[in-house]
Amino acid sequence: MRLLSLLLLSGFSLTAFAAKPVPGNLEPLPPPPALDAASDEEPEVTIIKQTEQTVEEFRTGGRLYMIKITPKVGAPYYLIDDRGDGKFARQESLDSGFRPPRWVIHRF
């Protein structure tokens, strides 16, 4: 009995989605904006070796956006310009720490 009611309800829901009319005033999407040549380029990396640390500066289009500092003793860290305003924030790694759940729902 449960199976029959489940099949009946699913059949009604499928017909409800299939019966939606398409509006007549639809317009095609505009083409995506062209990317500038600077975004296709690889970043320029400048390596500065000092006595106590190594500094790597990453630039794209002439704009400095990230600095990696590797001290002689200790773990490397990054200074990143997130907003593009020239103010750098320190990060211990490039990993943001965001971990979305990854559940397997069905395998084919």
What pLDDT score does 14 carry? Answer: 59
Per-chain mean pLDDT for the chain: 77
**Overall average pLDDT of the 68-93 stretch:** 83
Residue 72 makes CB contacts below 8 A (sequence gap 6+) with: 52, 53
What pLDDT score does 52 carry? Answer: 93
Pairing between strand 44-49 and 63-71?
unpaired
35-95 is a CATH 2.20.130.30 domain? yes
Which residues is 45 bridged to in the sheet? 58
What's CA 52's distance to the chain center, in Å?
34
Domain residue extents for the chain: 35-95
Instruction: Label residue 19 by pLDDT band (50, 70, 90).
Output: low
